[in-house]
Amino acid sequence: MPSADEGAFDRLCANLDPEWVEAALEATGTATLRKRRLPAEQVIWLVLGMALYRHRPIAELVERLDLALPGGRPKPKPIARSAVAQARARVGEEPLKWLFEKSALAWAHASARRHEWRGLALYGVDGTTARVPDSKENRRHFGGQAVGRGGGLSGYPMVRLVTLMALRSHLLAAAHFGPYGTDEREYALKIWPQVPDDSLCVMDRHFLNADILVPLARDGKNRHWLLRAKKNTAWRTVKRLGKGEELVEMEVSYHTRQKDDSLPMRFQARAIHYQRKGFQPQWLLTSLLDAEAFPASEVVALYHERWELELGYDEVKTEMLERQEAIRSQKPGGVAQELWGVGLAYNLVRLEMERIAEEADVPPTQISFVMALRLIRDEWMWLAGASPGAIPKHLRRLREEVKRFVLPLRRSHRRYPRAVKIKMSSYPRKRPRPDRRARSRRPLRRVRP
């Protein structure tokens, strides 16, 4: 009977080169030098299992996925929970980060090139948050969201996360995260070096700042941006390009140039006015200045592909994390390790989906993430206990039934206004509150002897 290492891991991680795992451990100085019950390379698979099997305890994952090495006995004792925690701490976050960045470079950028628009690879940039366990270490490192006036902080510490996603396949190309109090635009600046030349980044209007947009276009070759204007965005019209199209010039504020003296006093953009049925009129701003090479109608349609990134975040939070955004780790290092593992596991699922899409001759976004995730979860467990002769037939049958993964075409005319569906609980909220005694400015009353 094949072990999970021989069968299921080969199925799940067929695209994750074992040499990459070895290189990650060697590059970060975390390779196992002496024999342990749970060596470093197995910890890598464990973290991936934690991302894929949210509902299973970590100790059970070690046992069910056959991760621990034999202890020299015919029936080795189950590995202790403390040993698992120690093994994860020894490995740390760096090998998982190295693996994520290596795989993203190999998979996401290649995918974006396969689904270009007018010679440009398409990416989306946006931020999100995730809850982490309410331990002292996590609270101190990540902080939380302020709640109302004098209401303290959010019930759980929060991680702020920004990703660069290949829009038409959802593969993650880069990610940066850290304390909640850091603005997501600062994390975006750290992503710009990973944005390739000949590309277009579609982003939210929150990123409409000269110190964000100018470096993106300036520090690369043929790198562009596209976003929606804010209500208070001001510009000067330089030239009218056509109906609802203008070449505009925007001032860079003195305060912004004080922070970055390499910024110009003003920069140009193309403004496109449009209105979708049932919505308010809007302006788009983009660095794609050539109206003939990049028609306005296509640019407008392209902007709305930005929601693919929101759908990707939903796939992670709703399906992989099962709406339990408070991930497991009690310390910042473990949180970082787990987040890199989630990103890597998500890319593995998405890479499988892209290959299924090729066989079905449909776009990757028309493949069901839920079905693909279930396939990988089931295969991992099934192959761990299957006879060797049954495995090829089973996999061949799955490939032949590829049509069950294909979703119907999206109905773009449907609208879902934001609304509260479930009423919040009437119980008092449990949140950390600031020490009122420390904030008091009233002097202590002196008592005469």
pLDDT digits (tens, 9 = 90+) for 36-64: 556 777 788 888 888 888 878 887 777 76
Do the domain assignments include residue 257?
yes
My answer on whether 152 and 123 are in the same domain is yes
- Report percent pLDDT > 90 for the chain: 48
Q: What is the mean pLDDT of residues 203-229?
A: 95
Do the domain assignments include residue 397?
yes
My answer on whether 219 and 280 are in the same domain is yes
My answer on whether 57 and 142 are in the same domain is no
194: left (phi over 0), alpha (psi -120 to 50) or beta: alpha
175, pLDDT greater than 90: yes
11, pLDDT greater than 80: no
Do the domain assignments include residue 348?
no
My answer on whether 248 and 288 are in the same domain is yes
Q: What is the CATH number of the domain that holds 222?
A: 3.90.350.10
My answer on whether 184 and 87 are in the same domain is no
What pLDDT does 398 receive?
A: 58
Do the domain assignments include residue 398?
yes
Across 176-212, b (16+ Cβ under 10 Å) vs e yields: bbbebeeebbebbeebbebbbeebbbbbbebbbebbb
My answer on whether 104 and 63 are in the same domain is no
Would you call 385 helix, strand, or coil by DSSP?
coil
Q: Which residues contact 379 (CB under 8 A, 6 or more apart)?
A: 8, 11, 12, 398
What confidence tier does 33 reach under pLDDT thresholds 50, 70, 90?
Answer: very low
Give me the domain span that covers residue 309.
Answer: 95-314
Q: What angle do CA 321, 325, 328 make, to 5 degrees?
A: 85
pLDDT digits (tens, 9 = 90+) for 318-344: 888 887 766 888 999 999 999 999 999
Token reading at 136 = 């002292």
Burial of 133 (0-12, 13-18, 19+ CB in 10 A): middle
Do the domain assignments include residue 132?
yes
My answer on whether 31 and 106 are in the same domain is no
CA pair distance 142, 138, nearest whole angstrom: 6
Q: Which of 129-143, 325-339, 392-406 has the lowest mean pLDDT?
A: 392-406
Kindly report the length of the chain: 449
My answer on whether 176 and 276 are in the same domain is yes
What is the number of domains present in the chain? 2
The pTM for the full model equals 0.85
My answer on whether 87 and 100 are in the same domain is no
Domain boundary among 293, 314, 335: 314
Token reading at 17 = 């080169």
Do the domain assignments include residue 443?
no
My answer on whether 133 and 278 are in the same domain is yes
What confidence tier does 73 reach under pLDDT thresholds 50, 70, 90?
Answer: very low
Do the domain assignments include residue 65?
yes
My answer on whether 84 and 103 are in the same domain is no
Average pLDDT, the chain: 82
